[in-house]
Amino acid sequence: MKLTVDDLAILGGRPAFAEKLYVGRPNIGDRTRLLVRLNDILDTRWLTNGGPYVESFEGRITELTGVKHCIATCNATVALEIAIRALGLVGEVLIPSFTFVATAHALQWQQIRPVFCDIDPKTHCMDPRSVEAMITPRTTGIIGVHLWGRACYVNALTEIAARHKLTLLFDAAHAFGCSDRGRMIGSFGEAEVFSFHATKFVNSLEGGAVVTNNNALARKLRLMRNFGFTGYDKVNYVGTNGKMTEVCAAVGLTSLEALNEIVEVNRRNYEVYRENLDVLPGVSVIEYDPTEHNNYHYIVAEIDPASAPLNRDELLAILLNENVLARRYFWPGCHRMEPYRTLYPNSHLFLPQTERVAAQVMSLPTGQTITPEIIRAICDIIRAAFENAGEIRKILEEKTAV
């Protein structure tokens, strides 16, 4: 397909797609096997509280990651909260600002200050030099985030944590099925947290997990997940309700069975995007190290305003007109969201790379519902927009002037 000026919706053409294309549209496993499991759950009337599906979901996670313990939860935010609490973090904890806001909220929720560190613009992961620079006498821990599924600087963070006697935890919400130097993500630091939210690589509708090799920590986390119950009528610990339901575990198990298939679709999509976008001026798609396990779940393109004819936000507006709902993850950075921008108004002074990268990246639709044909059409829209950049910019300026 070769688009002409008149084809672009923003110039008066019809949208290229009749239906909206979303980033993070859920992948779904085998429906028949799922329905068998759901019927079984209804037949046995064991809907939650330590049932067999949660147990086997946790078992599969430990097998696939090689970690000793998996504590499945209702979502990853609660998993982060109980991991932070079980590890005794207080005071200040270092995290990247360039992450989903839950990483920060899980700390602030329990009166711990998230201290925002800058990223390495090459990897989008927290820069260990920035981490080291932000340590104060009140710092008790570091939460590394494996952004887009690419391992953050695990070695350097481990070394810094050891030298300063800090607790190291990882937000691995993006990184299920990914590896670092050949070792599956899950076994680094004191613990790692996965998300199985509907929009993630593997999903259980809503869901999350803490994984750890530490026996005592695992025991504490299990108590915290279930109100601190140690037996019938016996509570020994302060806890919350962080349990995963049997239905969620059944969806999760079915999703895990489709794991290889989803990676293949994601990888194919990623390659088509790269082929068609990397040839455009000022556009680059992030790289995944081919020597590692990757889930290829995120298609992240950087639009360099110095060399691309249109900037990121202009491209988003053009794509939106064509029913392509690309997203600017993770703009504007946690430090520019409330309550953080009011509580810590000077954070941006330490985050130049975060601010620059957050203004240049966009996430594009992928997953089971996106075909190579759709991707070529999306890339064609961007190419045609670049070719007509002058005219389009004028229209966009008129629109925003009104």
Ligand X SMILES: *Cc1c(COP(=O)(O)O)cnc(C)c1O
Residues in touch with ligand X (CB under 6 A): 75-77, 99-100, 102-103, 145, 171, 173-174, 195, 197, 208
Min. distance of Cβ 84 from ligand X in angstroms?
12
Query: Of 127 and 322, which CB lies nearer to ligand X in the complex structure?
Result: 127
Min. distance of Cβ 305 from ligand X in angstroms?
26
Question: What is the distance between the alpha carbons of residues 82 and 106, in angstroms, rounded to a whole number?
Answer: 9
Cβ atoms < 10 Å from Cβ of 144: 31
Query: Of 51 and 242, which CB lies nearer to ligand X in the complex structure?
Result: 242
Query: Of 17 and 330, which CB lies nearer to ligand X in the complex structure?
Result: 330
Question: What is the distance between the alpha carbons of residues 154 and 188, in angstroms, rounded to a whole number?
Answer: 7
Query: Of 296 and 386, which CB lies nearer to ligand X in the complex structure?
Result: 296
Min. distance of Cβ 198 from ligand X in angstroms?
9
151-155-158-160 Cα dihedral, nearest 10 degrees: -120
Min. distance of Cβ 7 from ligand X in angstroms?
35
In terms of DSSP bridges, do strands 92-96 and 113-117 run parallel, antiparallel, or are they unpaired? parallel
Query: Of 173 and 265, which CB lies nearer to ligand X in the complex structure?
Result: 173
Question: What is the distance between the alpha carbons of residues 202 and 402, in angstroms, rounded to a whole number?
Answer: 43
Min. distance of Cβ 90 from ligand X in angstroms?
21
Min. distance of Cβ 329 from ligand X in angstroms?
8
User: In the numeric block, which tokens belong to residue 5?
Assistant: 């000026």
- Residue type at 166? L
* Rounded alpha-carbon distances, angstroms, from residue 186 to 206, 211, 212, 220, 296: 19, 6, 7, 18, 17
DSSP-derived 3-state class of residue 239: coil
**Do 197 and 206 touch, CB atoms closer than 8 A?**
yes
Query: Of 99 and 130, which CB lies nearer to ligand X in the complex structure?
Result: 99
